[in-house]
Structure 1
Amino acid sequence: MSWIFFRRAAQLLAGLFCYGFSIGMMIRAGLGVSPWDVLGQGTSLQTGIAFGLVTNLIGLAVLLLWIPLRQKPGPGTVLNVLLVGPSAEVGLAVVSEPSGIWGQILLFTAGLVLLAVATGLYIGARMGPGPRDGAVRTGIEVSVLAAGWALGGTVGLGTVAFALLIGPMVNRTMPFFHIPVRTASAP
């Protein structure tokens, strides 16, 4: 195996860890989170199951929905399902809730920036998208958001900021972390 494979694997793992950790940061900020995390929070509140495990279970459920679509997951897709939840729990364990609105805004902003970088890392590794990355996003995420809010998940200005900013931010980070495909040249 070449060093490029190891670089891709390391970049994927770093991206997935940072992705989950950033979710923990945004939850601790208390200003609202992404639609999928609102669903995870609400489900966790209603069931008593830890947020990280709920995140893994939701990722697995979404991945199973790929079967009828005949969409094939990559190793990064499977690792996303397994690793984002535990790394979110690490973030929740080590990041404390800030005092005051400016602390909340700073923590949320840092979490959002880290999430954009993390997304660029794991998608740029080209080992498969996350299970939630492939679907018709807007309609599904509005439904997920409504369900999570009904279950008690946190919806707020952070949720709006996430919806408006994450796309443009990820569009900036993905080219930076993209590992190009090398093809064999024809004789």
Structure 2
Amino acid sequence: MKNILIISAFYLLGLFSLSFGISLIIKAGLGAGPWDAFFVALSENLGLTVGSWTFIVGFLLILINGLLLKERPDFSALITMFLIGSFIDFWLLIALSGIELNALPFRSFILITGILFCGAGIASYLQSSFARNPIDHSMIVFHKLTGKSLSFSKTFLEVMILIIAFIIGGPIGIGTLLVAFGIGPLIQFFYKPMTSLRTKYAS
């Protein structure tokens, strides 16, 4: 029971950190991360909220990941996408909706803070094998199929979706590049300490 509670804490705190980081990056207005720029573009072009598109695309990725690994799709991951999408809509539409960021140095600080929260959040909830975010599970799938490192796998996929987001008019900027090339190394950086921390308390 103790182990389940500890792992659940890493899972929930990881999703909380990730969704907060994503929202900070979007609010900074210096370019959203590739996936988030993609979701923002879908929201602006087709309607629905950013969180809703996060859930919809996540569902499609669940099917694709299952097909690539020739396994049954992990539909439990819909829980993760629902939580992330709901958290993002909460931050953007409620908690942070009235905040206006004007000064460039402060916007840059918010951007970097958001990226750090994302990296730490992903490394945290990956400690649990339950209901992984299909976006990050795609990183694991690519890693398994190619043998490349987690850092390379994440960065490669980020660049691919960046191109798509740019084509459909997503909010691309310097922040987008920082996220595309920074999240992978940050996950690698935070993953071992998170694993050690989880092992310490869940053993």
Is the CA contact 1:81–1:130 (under 8 Å) kept in the aligned structure 2?
A: yes
* Corresponding residue of 2:65: 66
Q: How many residues are paired up?
A: 180
* Corresponding residue of 2:115: 112
Structure 1, unmatched stretches of 5+, are 182-187
Structure 2, unmatched stretches of 5+, are 143-152
Quote the Cα distance in structure 1 between the aligned partners of 2:164 and 2:74. 28
* Corresponding residue of 2:50: 51
Quote the Cα distance in structure 1 between the aligned partners of 2:88 and 2:81. 12
Residue 145 (structure 1) aligned with residue 162 (structure 2):
yes
Quote the Cα distance in structure 2 between the aligned partners of 1:101 and 1:84. 28
Structure 2 counterpart of 1:38, which letter?
A
| Structure 1 residues 75 and 122: alpha-carbon distance in aligned structure 2, compared to 1, 3 A threshold | farther
Give the TM-score of the pair, scaled to structure 1. Answer: 0.85
Quote the Cα distance in structure 2 between the aligned partners of 1:140 and 1:71. 21
Quote the Cα distance in structure 1 between the aligned partners of 2:136 and 2:24. 21
SS at 1:5 equivalent: helix
* Corresponding residue of 1:134: 137
User: Would you identify which runs of 4 or more consecutive aligned residues in structure 1 move more than 6 Å?
Assistant: none
Is the CA contact 2:124–2:191 (under 8 Å) kept in the aligned structure 1?
A: yes
Render the CA deviation track for 1:66-123: whole Å, top value 9, x for unaligned. 2322245668733322211111112213222311111110111111111111111101
| Structure 1 residues 103 and 110: alpha-carbon distance in aligned structure 2, compared to 1, 3 A threshold | same
SS at 2:135 equivalent: coil
| Structure 1 residues 66 and 168: alpha-carbon distance in aligned structure 2, compared to 1, 3 A threshold | closer
* Corresponding residue of 2:2: 3
Residue 97 (structure 1) aligned with residue 89 (structure 2):
no
Q: Give 1:44 shift.
A: 0.5
Structure 2 counterpart of 1:39, which letter?
F
Compute the RMSD of aligned alpha carbons: 2.2
1:26-37 to 2 correspondences below 5 Å: 26-37=25-36
Q: Give 1:163 shift.
A: 1.8
Is the CA contact 1:21–1:90 (under 8 Å) kept in the aligned structure 2?
A: no
| Structure 1 residues 94 and 116: alpha-carbon distance in aligned structure 2, compared to 1, 3 A threshold | same
Q: Give 1:151 shift.
A: 2.4
Is the CA contact 1:149–1:155 (under 8 Å) kept in the aligned structure 2?
A: yes
Quote the Cα distance in structure 1 between the aligned partners of 2:72 and 2:123. 21
| Structure 1 residues 72 and 9: alpha-carbon distance in aligned structure 2, compared to 1, 3 A threshold | farther
**What fraction of aligned residue pairs are identical, expressed as a percent?**
24
Render the CA deviation track for 1:120-150: whole Å, top value 9, x for unaligned. 1101233353211233355544342222222
Quote the Cα distance in structure 1 between the aligned partners of 2:191 and 2:78. 20
Question: Which structure features the higher share of helix residues?
Answer: 2
